[in-house]
Chain A
Amino acid sequence: MADFPAVKLHVVSGKGGTGKTTIAAGLALALAAGGRQVLLTEVEARQGIAQLFDTPPLPYEERRVAVARGGGEVYALAIDPEQALLEYLEQFYNLRRAGSMLKKLGAIDFATTIAPGLRDVLLTGKVMEAATRERRGGGRIYDAVVLDAPPTGRIAKFLNVNTEVAALTRMGPVTKQANSVMNLLRSVKTAVHLVTVLEEMPVQETADGIEELIATDLRPGAVIVNMVRDPLIPEDRIGDTAAGSVDTDDIARGLKAAGVEGDATTVAALAGEMTDHARRVLLERQELETLTALDRPTYQIPYIGDAAELSGLQEIADRLQAAGMI
C-alpha cells in the first residue's frame, strides 16, 4: 500500500548537500515502475538532472532520461523562466511572435530577473501545466510529476508565491492562473517531501520547513532521511567510547591477532577515530528522534556511496518502494 496514492505532483526539497536531486530522481524512477510515465523537473538552472543521468545539458524540452523497471519512462525538463514566459504568452494569448519585440523592450528581462517574484510564478506555472495536462493535444500526459524544488529554507515561499501574486493582481487572467496553481499545490494531489541527513542543521531546517509549509496551508509529505549508515561499533561499547574511554589494549591486541603491525601512534589514532564514530552514532540517533517526533511518514535511504549512477538511483527507487512510499 503506497503512502501517497492520490499524489500527482511530488515536490522534493531539502537543505543543500542532503542529496535532494538524487532522491527526486530515485522517486521519479520508483513512480515510473510498472509502465508509468513520469516527468522529473528542475527549476534552479543547475542542470542537476543532466549531471545525474549523465546526459548533455537539458534544453527546454521534455527528454527521456531513463527507463524504469517494467517499461515505465522518466522524462526530464529543466524549466527556464524566459522560455516558460514565451510559451505562456503563446498558449494563452497567441503572442509568441511578440517575443522578440518584448525582448527589445526589456519586458522579458524585467519579468524573469528584475521583478523577482514573477520568476517563481513562471516556474510553478509551468510545473502545474505539466501536471494537469489532459488528452486532446497539449503534449505528453504524465502519471506523475516530480519537482526538484528550491531548498528547504525557501520552499514555502517559493510555492506560496502565487498567493502573493493573486493578492496583488486581485483579478484578471494572472490572478486566475495564480489561483489555479495554488489550488493544485494545496490539494491532495500535491505533497512536499523534505530530504535530510542526520545532522543538526538539516534536521532543524526540516522541522522549520514543515512548520512553514503548514503555516502557508501547504501539505508536508514525507521526510526522507538520506545517506543513513549503520553503526560499525558494537552496541554495548557505544556509550563508553563516545565518552572518550577507549580501551587501547583491546585495539592493540586485535591488531596483533590480525597480524597488523600497529605502533602506539596507530593504536591511539584508531581509538580517536572510534570515539568520533561513537559520538557521530549518538548524534545521529538523537537527530532521528527529532525527526520521528515530527510525525510524518519517514523513510531511510542508506548511504550508497558517491556513485550517483543509474544503479544507485534504482536502489533508491527500490528502497522507497519497499518502504511503502510509492
Chain B
Amino acid sequence: MTTPSPAALDVDTLLRDAKIIVCCGAGGVGKTTTAAALAVRAAEQGRSVCVLTIDPARRLAQSMGLTELDNTPRAVSGIDTAAGGRLDAMMLDMKRTFDDIVLAHADEARAKAILANPFYVSLSSSFAGTQEYMAMEKLGQLKATGTWDLIVVDTPPSRSALDFLDAPQRLGRFLDGRMIRLLTAPARAGGRAYLKVFTVGVKMFTDVLNRMLGAQALKDLSLFVTSLETMFGGFRERADQTYKLLKERGTSFVVVAVPERDALREAAYFVERLETEQMPLAGMVLNRMHTSAAAALSVERAVAAAETLDAAGEEPFAAAALRVHADRLTAALRDSRRASQFHAAHPRVRIVEVAAQATDVHDLEGLRAIGADLAANPADAA
C-alpha cells in the first residue's frame, strides 16, 4: 500500500554494508525481534553475523537455540547457508562479562579479592545501569575478535539504554576528579594522613560518608574502589574505544518504535540524542503498523452499512465484518498519520514500516517474514 520514497530506509543495503547495527528504542516495541529478524536476513544473504541480545522473550530465545546463558555466541541452526553466510547468537550474561573484565585487568590475587567484595557482587549482578555498560563491553569484545562481518546488538529496554554514550565522559570526570582519591584515601592512609592533605570540604565529605554508611561499609567501599583503581584506567580506555567504534563508518543505529504516542516520543528522544552525539543513525523501524487491504471502503461507509444491516436485523456476520474493517482502517489511518507526523518533525530520519503481525513471532519462519517485510516495504514518508 506504500511506495518507495527518498525517506525510506533501505534495509538490504544496510544489511550488506554495515559492520555493527545497534537497535535501540523503548520497551515493548519489538526491538529484540527486529534485531533477530535483521540478523537472520543478513545471514541468509551471505554474511557472517552475530546477534547479541539482552533479555529475549523465552520463546524467541528458544527459536534461536538460546537455551543456555554461557556468554558465548552459538551457531543458530536452521539458517539457510546457501549464500555462504552464518548466524551466531548469544544472550548477554552481565555478571560474567563484568567478571571477565576484572580477570583481564587484574592479577589473580587482586581479581579474587574484587570478585569476592560484596560491593562488586551487587554492582555486577543486580544494579540497573550495569547492563548497558556490559552490553557495550561485550560488543567491543565480539568486534575485536574479527570473527563476524556484522554484529547486531539489542539494547536494554530503558531510556538509560543510551547511557553508554556518556560512559567515557563520566568515567573521565570520575577519574580526574577528587572523588576517587577520597574514596581510596582511608584505605591507603588509615585515616589521619589524608585529612591533612585535603580541604575542609573534603573532611566534611568523608564525615558525611562515615555517618551515612558507617565505618565498616566505608572501609569496604574504600577497599573496593582501591582494588579497582588500577582497572579504572582500563575501563576508561575501553569506554573510549567503544565510543569510537560506535561512531565509526560501518556502525549504524536503528531506532525501533511502534506508532503509539509514548513510543514515538521515546523514539524522538533517541533520535535527537544520537544526532547530538553525531552517532550514525541509519533510520527507524516502525513496527506494528496496522494495514487494511480494503482501504477504498471508508470507515464512515463501513459503519453506516453495518448500522443499516443491524437496523434491518440482517446479515449479522457481514455487519461484524464491516465493523472489524472500520476499526482496522481507523487504526491504519491513525498509524500512518502518526508516522507522517514523526516524519514531519524529523524529516531526515529514514523510516521503514513493518505490518502488525496477527500473532507473536517466535520461530525462524516468523523472523524471515519480518525480515522480508523490512526489506520490501519502504515507508511512504514523503
Contacts and interface: CB of A to CB of B under 8 A. Distances in A.
Given A172-B217, A257-B312, A262 B297 contact: yes
Contacts of A158: 128
Contacts of A200: 57, 59, 359-360
Contacts of A247: 317
A110 B179 contact: yes
Given A168-B217, A272-B293, A106 B318 contact: no
B128 A157 contact: yes
A259 B308 contact: yes
Contacts of A89: 208
B370 to A, nearest CB: 15
Nearest to A258: B305
A292 to B, nearest CB: 20
A17 B27 contact: yes
Given A250-B318, A254-B318, A270 B325 contact: yes
B95 interface: no
Contacts, number: 243
A106 B211 contact: no
Interface stretch (B75-83, B116-124, B342-350): B116-124
Contacts of A116: 123, 127-130
Given A161-B127, A250-B318, A259 B177 contact: no
A304 interface: no
Contacts of B159: 44-46
Contact of A168 (B29, B119, B305): B119
A300 B163 CA distance: 36
Contacts of A219: none
A136 B344 CA distance: 53
Contact of B297 (A113, A170, A260, A279): A260
A200 B360 CA distance: 7
Given A170-B217, A260-B301, A17 B308 contact: no
A232 B213 CA distance: 60
Contacts of B142: none
Interface in B326-382: 327-328, 334, 358-360
A255 B318 CA distance: 7
Nearest to A151: B27
Contacts of B214: 169-175
A74 B185 CA distance: 48
A57 interface: no
Contacts of B110: none
A294 interface: no
B175 to A, nearest CB: 9
Nearest to B295: A269
B317 A105 contact: no
Contact of B157 (A104, A107, A153): A153
Interface residues of A, number: 83
Given A117-B122, A255-B305, A15 B27 contact: yes
Given A93-B211, A174-B217, A279 B359 contact: yes
A172 B217 CA distance: 9
Contacts of A172: 211-217
A295 interface: no
B100 to A, nearest CB: 19
B212 A174 contact: yes
Given A169-B213, A259-B305, A232 B359 contact: no
Interface in B200-239: 201-202, 204-205, 208, 211-217, 220
A231 B373 CA distance: 28
Given A270-B325, A279-B359, A18 B28 contact: yes
A168 B211 contact: no
B127 A266 contact: no
Nearest to B314: A257
A172 B216 CA distance: 9
Contact of B306 (A21, A105, A258): A258
A323 interface: no
A6 interface: no
Contacts of A98: 201, 204-205, 208
Given A170-B216, A279-B359, A201 B57 contact: yes
Contacts of B304: 258
B321 interface: yes
B26 interface: yes
A214 interface: no
B29 A17 contact: yes
Interface of B: 26-29, 55, 57-59, 118-119, 122-123, 126-130, 157-159, 163, 166, 170-171, 173-174, 177-179, 182, 201-202, 204-205, 208, 211-217, 220, 258, 260-263, 265-266, 292-294, 296-297, 301-302, 304-306, 308-309, 312, 314-325, 327-328, 334, 358-360
20 contacts: A16-B28, A89-B208, A95-B208, A106-B174, A109-B174, A116-B129, A117-B128, A119-B129, A151-B158, A164-B127, A168-B220, A169-B216, A171-B217, A250-B317, A253-B318, A255-B305, A257-B308, A273-B293, A274-B324, A279-B359
User: Which 5 pairs of residues, A with B, have the shortest CB-CB distance?
Assistant: A254-B318, A172-B214, A16-B27, A116-B129, A16-B28
Given A117-B122, A164-B122, 11 more contacts: A113-B170, A165-B122, A172-B211, A173-B211, A200-B57, A201-B57, A255-B318, A258-B304, A258-B319, A268-B293, A306-B334
Interface of A: 15-18, 21, 44-46, 48, 51, 89, 93, 95, 98, 101-102, 104-107, 109-110, 113-117, 119-120, 150-151, 153-154, 157-158, 161, 164-165, 167-175, 199-202, 204, 232-234, 237, 247, 250-251, 253-255, 257-260, 262, 265-266, 268-274, 276-277, 279-280, 283, 306, 308
